[in-house]
Structure 1
Amino acid sequence: MRFRTLKQLAEVCASEGLTIADVMLADQSEESGKPPAYVFNKMREYYQIMKEAVDKGLTEDTTSRSGLTGKDAQRVMTYMAMQPTNLGEEACKAMAYALAVSEVNASMGRIIATPTAGSCGIIPGVFISSQQRFGWEDDHLVKGLLCAGAIGYVIANNSFVSGAEGGCQAEVGSAIGMAAGALVELRGGTPEQAMHAVGLALKNTLGLICDPVGGLVEIPCIVRNGFGAVNAMAAADMALAGVRSVIPSDEVVQVMYEVGTAMPEKHRETAKGGLAQTPTGRKIMKELNLNRKH
């Protein structure tokens, strides 16, 4: 890749007059040895899987094997149909779609990890709801995935995307940053604005712990995806409005690494702290263990 930092990525875009998606497509093609058309078509396949996951989450029984979660996306859609929402239709729809994909994941369905299974709902929630709102063709969203991939590449190589390494800030936080930056580019914003969106998103998830109840990617993971989709849209709107991340985005990524490194083990996907160790969390764990024995 011609870039390792977000600043370098923006500089390549500026010097060559390219979008982030253009740069990522060319660099991924060169690195993989595959033609650009092959890379683009592979991303198109991934986007179709995302759309299928949203549809499945909204129309099928997504009750997880544990029985702890399922059908919350459908509850949100029913609520939207019955009365005005506090968020407004577009943000609420993005939230519902993000929940839908996360519930498909929890019920052993097929999803695309973006960047992880635990944060798989955020980008589809933002992308598919935005596509419906603005009438974009699928290929436009495929470019968005390439843009998000470039941002994720930088985060992964300078910090974490794994909850076991850096807490939920690394999973949900990274996905929010990727979705926010990509949405800016999808809306016609500049690479510089996209970089600001990433910084705005990431610095508002710093310190978010990974505390899966029962050790499952269900509670609180699924609802965090719903909230994450809304946060990504907010960060994108701020950046498009001209709001800047005063702390440069690369520095925010570095802080995310420092915070994740300092985070206690019990708050990094071990289910030994946080919500997993509340009285209710421990009760759920005990019941799950009993069920496994039987």
Structure 2
Amino acid sequence: MKVTGYRSLVTSHDWGRPVGDVNGVVASGVTDVPILILETDGGLEGVGLGQHADIARVFGAVEGQDPRAAPALYDSMLSHVFKSGHAGLTYGAVAAIDMALWDLKAKMADEPLWRTLGAADRFVRGYASGLCYGLDDDGFAALYARFAERGFSAAKIKGGRDLARDIRRLKHVRTIMAGNSVAPALMLDVNESWNCKQAVRHLAEIEAAGIDLTWIEEPVRRWDTHGLAAVSRAARCAVATGENLTGLEQFAPLLDARAVDVVQAGSVWGITHFQRVAIAAHVR
């Protein structure tokens, strides 16, 4: 079976409420979902999600190829755009194709992707989180109460601009999740909105307020190796980051400097990327 073509679609996700983080809120609650469909000469189609505006630049690396070679084709795509770089929209296209190739690989094996990837079952522990920055206090409480009703015992909230508000909401969500656990896991995601000194000071205040964070997510800019390492040394909680990094070369400095405790790989960057980042984290 060979890859022969592609189709690009855009659908929308209506969240039914404002969604966003400290960097911006979509008041309408409607966000675009770009979808890539890879076509084959055998009739199967592979689906990939994520921005792929540069698909025409990248597709030549996989056209006519067997989708079962997904990891090798991932490297072929990176080589194909090597001179002009693979960041931004180009990396999004690489990732969407990669995701669709893995979808085809699983379909050709007539099994779900989690089994193709070697998992024993389809269960993954999750925490509740919902781009909640733009909600007022009542809306925030109602959202996490619904999550708790579904059995969640851990929550990650969005914050970063107003520390008093963040502390109040962390305490509130802890109370909500306490119905499912005597020790709910709490995470705070500030989406790179602090500098290093702010992060150290704010985390000390959060700890002084009696809140035991599981992790602080993206406390400083994603590329600030020294800042992330300083925050990790100063705080009791773990430092999580990486969802916006593209390529192992961007993770390496953070891993080498012990600047990240929870290594995150954004789902929209593809399956091969996720596997390689996971292995790099595992060996450390």
TM-score, length of structure 1 as denominator length: 0.27
> Normalized per residue, which structure has more helix?
1
Ranked by relative contact order (alpha carbons within 8 Å, sequence separation 6 or more), the top structure is: 1
- Look at both structures and tell me which one has the larger radius of gyration over its CA atoms: 2
> Normalized per residue, which structure has more strand?
2
TM-score, length of structure 2 as denominator length: 0.28
